[in-house]
Amino acid sequence: MSSEEAVELTVVARRAGVRIALVRRYLEFGLFEARPGPAAAPRYDPDSAARVAQAERLRRDLGLNYAGAVLACELLDRIRDLRAGR
Amino acid sequence: MALAYTDYYAVLGVPRDADQDAIRRAYRKLARRHHPDVNSDSDAEERFKELGEAYEVLSDPEKRERYDRLGANWRQQEQETPDANFEEFFARQGFGGAADSADFGDDLFERLFGGRGGAGASGWSTGPLRGFDREAQLELSLEDALEGGRRRLTLDGRDIDVNFPAGVRDGQLIRIAGRGGPGRDGGPPGDLYLRISLRPHPHFRRRGEHDLDVDLPVTPSQAALGATVPVRTPGGSAQVRVPAGSSSGRRLRLRGRGLPRSGGSGDLHAVVKIVVPKHLSDRERELYEQLAAESPPVEASA
């Protein structure tokens, strides 16, 4: 998790270069989560933008659906962790 | 633009008489394997781009026919039609440079991935999208890592000036915003992550995460009688007190003189190394002989 300041969903969308509806969609699929805090004003890890963009590239380029793209991201994370011995 | 001739059949690993199904299957399999988000090899981006080019030509019967017939020169006739310009094509798909137009890309993308009967309407959309994050290694000497500074890196033919802060650690990631893969359709570029890799040092040896070892050469008499001797530290030098009766291998800790870490620094360990003079003067030899007569021999178990 990044130590940078948490951001709003609109910022995640802008940094990922996509519409906010798409970001909400990935949020529903559990690609990333809100940081702990007041539910009325949810904030997200700034790394979420890169994560959304990665899932979306995989979805578009490899013909995955949303669930498949999220799964691919999670598996890629897992592989990276295993390689790093975590 | 002039591109070297590329054997698109070899790129996709299919025979020259492969049918469209075989070409599509080969492309999809290789695209999964070499996608820059999946494959961390440094040439994955280039390879993926090449796959896209190969598939774009071989999946289109007209282009394929021209390519088969004209070989290296097949593209010359195409220069006048817009969709033959690959640089433009890949800029639009996000593998090249800036992009500006919209529907042209959609159309090509549809063809590139054979939209009909593929993964369904939701699968192949386009639109602005941030580029992928790139990772590269930045090798530094210990001194550079301690002092911080500036480096010029060349990545994919582009020069990038990078400032790194003082006290970077081995394995640390430094984010350089906007220096990753180009965005697609006007999306923002990804970030570049530099992984710091410390080069082995001629004097200091890493010991765990933040501690360093350094040899501390002393004479036999300094080791026997004790002495205060200079020791090399990462930032310069320091004085260290060698207690009387120190054998080789004894570790003397200099607290906080190792590598930086959050909230302080690791320790430097000066490792005593008794250095015996190679040549003795007559007087020295005489004294050593007297000493030898006085001292009991070292026991094997000691």
Decide if A2 is inside a domain: no
CATH of region B8-112, choose from 1.10.10.60, 1.10.3720.10, 1.10.287.110, 3.30.360.10 = 1.10.287.110
Q: Say what the pLDDT of residue A3 is.
A: 61
Q: Say what the pLDDT of residue B79 is.
A: 54
A53 to chain B: which residues are within 8 Å by CB? 129-132, 187, 190
Task: Tell me the DSSP string of chain B.
Answer: -------HHHHHT--TT--HHHHHHHHHHHHHHH-TTT--STTHHHHHHHHHHHHHHHTSHHHHHHHHHHGGGTTGGGGGSGGG-HHHHHHHHTSSS----SHHHHHHHHHHTT-TTSS-TTTT----BPPPPEEEEEEE-HHHHHH-EEEEEEETTEEEEEEE-TT--TT-EEEETT-SSPPBTTPPP--EEEEEEEPPPSSEEEETTTEEEEEEEE-HHHHHH-EEEEEEETTEEEEEEEPTTPPTT-EEEETT-S-EETTEE--EEEEEEE---SS--HHHHHHHHHHHHHSPPPPTT-
Its domain, for residue A29, covers 9-83
- Tens of pLDDT, residues B40-50: 887 888 899 89
- According to CATH, what is the number of the domain B134-198? 2.60.260.20
**What residues 13-72 of chain A have any CB closer than 8 A to a CB of chain B?**
15-19, 49-50, 53-54, 56-66, 72
Q: Where are the domains of chain B?
A: 8-112, 134-198, 204-294
Q: Say what the pLDDT of residue B190 is.
A: 93
A49 to chain B: which residues are within 8 Å by CB? 130
Query: Whole-number mean pLDDT of chain A?
Result: 92
Q: Say what the pLDDT of residue B102 is.
A: 36
Question: Do B8-112 and B204-294 show the same overall fold?
Answer: no
- Tens of pLDDT, residues A21-66: 999 999 999 999 999 888 888 999 999 999 999 999 999 999 999 9
Number of domains in chain A: 1
Assign A16 a pLDDT band (cuts: 50, 70, 90).
Answer: very high
Examine the predicted complex and report whether its ipTM is higher than 0.90: no
- Tens of pLDDT, residues B46-103: 899 899 999 999 999 999 999 998 887 777 755 555 444 444 444 444 443 333 333 3
Decide if A1 is inside a domain: no
- Ranges of chain B with pLDDT below 70: 1-4, 77-125, 301-302
What topology does CATH give the domain B204-294?
Answer: HSP40/DNAj peptide-binding domain (2.60.260)
Q: Is the pTM of this model over 0.80?
A: no
Q: Say what the pLDDT of residue B77 is.
A: 58
Nearest chain A CA: its distance from B79 CA (Å)? 26
Q: Are B187 and A64 within 8 A, CB to CB?
A: no
